[in-house]
Amino acid sequence: MPATVLVGAQWGDEGKGRVADWLAAESNVVARFAGGDNAGHTVVVGDKIFKLHLIPSGILHPQVTCVLGNGMVINVINLMKEIDQIEGMGVSVTPERLIVSSRAHLITPAHIALDAAAEKARGSGAIGTTLRGIGPAYMDKTGRRGIRAGQIADMEAFGDALFEMMERANVQLVAQGQPPLDPKAATAEYLAAAVRLQPYIRDTSAYLNERLKAGGRVLCEGAQGTLLDIDHGDYPYVTSSSPTAGGALIGLGFGPRHVDRVVGVAKAFSTRVGAGPMPTELQGALGDRLRGTGENFWDEFGTTTGRPRRCGWLDAVVLRYAAQVSGFTDLVVTKLDVLSGFDELKIAVGYEVNGKHVTTLPTTLRELEQAQPVYEIMTGWKEDITAVRQPGDLPTAALDYVRRVSELCEVPLRSVSVGPERDQLVHFGN
């Protein structure tokens, strides 16, 4: 039984958490492969709202073992807080249910301080990172001076490595006019969390390969989205990892022959949090309407940072590109219910760039910043669709909209979500 990879088709926040929750019901293992607690997945089960940053949504299914893969960067203090919080809500998170890769890199207070300092130094060119230390942790990884979870096994050497890392960061912080860390206090706090993490740490690549060999079904739960990918996103306004399908293999340590399905998740409109180009962004009343007021947890405000998200019409150029980069076999469209009540809806099917019509994503930031969307106009629908569970019960205009999206990105439509609850899904046969 092979693996499914779940990937965001836009700039993150596509609703992957709720799709992962649905696919986890038919999985034995759910594994995160990239990023860290910059992610925020919201899953609603009955009257409980789970906000997960590091732990895969699969934890809410008792038969599932969750894995934090080697491609992730993990803040041990925040992971232990999240474990405590989820356990406090009645979900068991023992080392039998959650396994952390000994090869995963750790985010320390040094990375968090350096992330803030780097953003400050960028001034008006700031990326708008989540300030979770993601970029500096991946820089230490590729710079071959990072600390991996497996090092916790030798607590004394681990403490020394942490202390050294903070002293090194202090040199940079002071040079940038920022307050230095207290290496002794910060190391002591980190060590206390690391002691608790130790029983969770294993060789997850070996574990996953064993499970796959024995016929287990693995769901690889992507965080962020294609346009935030370090290689394929709109660099430099990206995160520092590979949230696309290729990243799943690198970030978990098994081969491509195990993957039989790549599910792309796209929101029915576009959102982006942080800086960077977004050709279909809507300013004013229309954007505000898509965003919501923030009263509901599903409104467009960041799960991790609370920042209002930039909102705009759906961009099929972006979706087609995401399908190409990851090889989507299935498409899931989320939040279709938010589009109820518009007279007309627009989908970008191409761009005008310097007087030229293009239908593929420009490769340079400059061109992307200049891209003017070319829209196809679709008829809207007035009906509330939150109670719909069968494709045939959707208003014709809503069906036309999602079918057109699937056609434009040349990926079969698998499901549409019409609300935040677990059962608010409409499945299409394919």
By CB under 6 A, residue 226 contacts ligand IMP: no
* Least distance CB 59 / ligand IMP (angstroms): 18
Half-sphere exposure of 349 (CA within 13 A, CB side): 12
Q: Which residues pair with 426 in a beta bridge?
A: 416
Residues 6+ apart with CB under 8 A from 132: 36, 37, 38, 75, 107, 112, 115, 304
Taking a C-beta distance cutoff of 8 angstroms, is the pair 226, 325 a contact? yes
Q: Is residue 239 part of the contact set for ligand IMP (CB under 6 A)?
A: yes
Q: Specify burial of residue 409 (Cβ count, 10 A radius: 0-12, 13-18, 19+).
A: buried
Indicate whether 127 belongs to the interface with ligand IMP (CB under 6 A). Answer: yes
List 61, 105, 111, 132, residue binding ligand IMP (CB under 6 A):
132
The catalytic position among 41, 53, 111, 258 is 41
Number of amino acids touching ligand IMP (CB under 6 A): 21
CA–CA gap between residue 248 and residue 4 (Å, rounded): 10
Catalytic site includes residue 111: no
130 binds ligand IMP (CB under 6 A): yes
End-to-end CA distance of the chain: 19
134 binds ligand IMP (CB under 6 A): yes
User: Taking phi first (over 0 means left), then psi (-120 to 50 degrees means alpha), and beta for anything else, what does residue 108 get?
Assistant: beta
| Given 13, 115, 234, 337, the catalytic residue | 13
For ligand IMP, the binding residue among 204, 205, 224, 326 (CB under 6 A) is 224
Alpha helix locations (H) across 270-329?
285-291, 316-326
Cβ-based neighbours of 47, under 8 Å, separated by 6 or more: none
Structure tokens at 315: 């961009």
Give me the residue whose beta carbon is nearest to ligand IMP: 274
Site membership for ligand IMP, residue 10 (CB under 6 A): no
Window 270 to 289, contacts with ligand IMP (CB under 6 A): 273-274
Q: 90: burial class by Cβ within 10 Å (0-12, 13-18, 19+)?
A: exposed
How many angstroms separate the CA atoms of 171 and 323, rounded? Answer: 43
Nearer to ligand IMP, 11 or 375 (CB): 11
Residue 313: CB minimum distance to ligand IMP, A: 18
Q: Which region, judged by CB under 6 A, interacts with ligand IMP, from 9-17, 180-188, 370-378, 417-425?
A: 9-17
Q: How far apart are CB 135 and ligand IMP at their closest, in Å?
A: 5
Q: Quick one: which of 135, 279, 419, 420 contacts ligand IMP (CB under 6 A)?
A: 135
Span near ligand IMP by CB under 6 A; candidates 94-102, 232-240, 283-291, 411-419: 232-240
Report in angstroms how near the CB of residue 355 gets to ligand IMP at its nearest: 30
Q: Does 308 bind ligand IMP (CB under 6 A)?
A: no
Q: Which of 3, 13, 34, 59 binds ligand IMP (CB under 6 A)?
A: 13
CA-to-CA dists, residue 71 to 104, 137, 199, angstroms: 6, 12, 20
Does 236 sit behind a cis peptide bond, omega within 30 degrees of 0 on the bond before it? yes
**DSSP-H helix ranges across 55-178:** 76-88, 109-122, 134-142, 155-175
Task: Give the nearer residue to ligand IMP in terms of CB position, either 13 or 401.
Answer: 13
Least distance from ligand IMP to the Cβ atom of residue 131, Å: 7
Residue pair 174/148 in contact (Cβ under 8 Å)? The answer is: no
**Chain position carrying tokens 């705009």:** 312
65 binds ligand IMP (CB under 6 A): no
- Closest approach, Cβ 224 to ligand IMP, in A, equals 5
Q: Which stretch binds ligand IMP (CB under 6 A): 132-140, 324-332, 334-342, 411-419?
A: 132-140
Site for ligand IMP in 34-53 (CB under 6 A): 38-40
What is the Cα–Cα distance from 104 to 204, expressed in whole angstroms?
A: 10
- CA dihedral sign of residues 145, 146, 147, 150: negative
13 assigned to active site = yes
Segment lying near ligand IMP (by CB under 6 A), choices 33-41, 88-96, 99-107, 157-165: 33-41
Give the residues lining the site for ligand IMP (CB under 6 A): 11-13, 38-40, 127-130, 132, 134-135, 223-224, 228, 237, 239-240, 273-274
Q: Indicate which residues carry an active-site annotation.
A: 13, 41
